[in-house]
Amino acid sequence: MPELPEVEALAGYLRQRAVGRRVDRLEIAAISALKTYDPAPTAATGRTVTDARRHGKFLDVVLDGDLHVVIHLARAGWLHYREAFASTTPLRPGKGPVALRVRLDDGSGFDLTEAGTQKSLAVYLVTDPATVPGVARLGPDALAADLATFTERLRSRRGQVKGVLTDQTVLAGVGNAYSDEILHAAKLSPFALTNRLTDDQLATLHAATRRVLGDAVTRSVGQRAAELKGEKRSGLKVHARTGLPCPVCGDTVREVSFADSSLQYCPTCQTGGKPLADRRLSRLVR
Ligand SMILES: [Zn+2]
Domain hosting residue 31, numbered range: 4-131
Rounded CA separation 152/207 (Å): 15
Considering the domain boundaries, does residue 212 fall inside one?
yes
Task: Find the 5 Cα to ligand 1 centroid distance in Å.
Answer: 23
Distance 207 CA to ligand 1 centre (A): 18
Q: Are 109 and 85 in contact (CB under 8 A)?
A: yes
Is the same domain home to 12 and 126? yes
Estimate to the nearest angstrom the gap between the alpha carbon of 250 and the chain centroid. Answer: 29
Tell whether 271 is covered by a domain.
no
Q: What's the structural domain count of the chain?
A: 2
Angle between helices 199-222 and 4-17 (to 10 degrees): 40
pLDDT reported for residue 134: 96
Same-domain pairing of 188 and 155: yes
What is the rounded CA–CA span in Å between residue 170 and residue 244?
31
What separation in Å is there between the alpha carbon of 252 and the centre of ligand 1?
A: 8
Task: Give yes or no: residues 53 and 169 share one domain.
Answer: no
CA–centroid distance, 276 to ligand 1, in Å, is: 14
CATH assignment at residue 34: 3.20.190.10
- Asked if residue 75 and residue 29 are part of one domain, the reply reads yes
DSSP codes joined into one string, 96-148? SSEEEEEEETTS-EEEEEE-SS----EEEEES-GGGSHHHHT--SBTTT--HH
**Domain match, 123 and 15 both:** yes
Residue-wise pLDDT tens digits, 57-95: 999 999 999 999 999 999 889 999 999 999 989 988 877
Instruction: Kindly state the DSSP code that residue 90 receives in the 8-state scheme.
Output: P
Determine, yes or no, domain membership for 188: yes
Question: How far does the centroid of ligand 1 lie from the alpha carbon of residue 231, in Å?
Answer: 23
Task: Say how many Å lie between the CA of residue 151 and the centre of ligand 1.
Answer: 25
Does residue 190 have a pLDDT over 70?
yes
Residues 110 and 187 in one domain: no
- The answer to whether residues 8 and 126 belong to one domain is yes
Q: Cα(267) to centroid of ligand 1, in Å?
A: 7
Residue 210 confidence (pLDDT) above 70: yes
pLDDT digits (tens, 9 = 90+) for 143-168: 999 999 999 999 999 999 999 999 99
Q: Calculate how far, in angstroms, residue 256's C-alpha sits from the geometric centre of ligand 1.
A: 16
* Cα 48 to ligand 1 centroid, rounded to whole Å: 49
- Indicate if 84 and 160 belong to the same structural domain: no
Q: How far is the CA of 269 from the centre of ligand 1 (A)?
A: 4
**Is 18 inside any structural domain?**
yes
Pairwise CA distance, residues 152 & 262, whole Å: 27
Q: How far apart are the CA of 16 and the centre of ligand 1, in A?
A: 39
* pLDDT tens per residue, range 231-254: 457 789 999 999 999 999 999 999
Do 21 and 106 have their domain in common? Answer: yes
Distance 146 CA to ligand 1 centre (A): 27
Asked whether residue 15 is domain-assigned, the answer is yes
Evaluate whether residue 280 is within a structural domain.
Answer: no
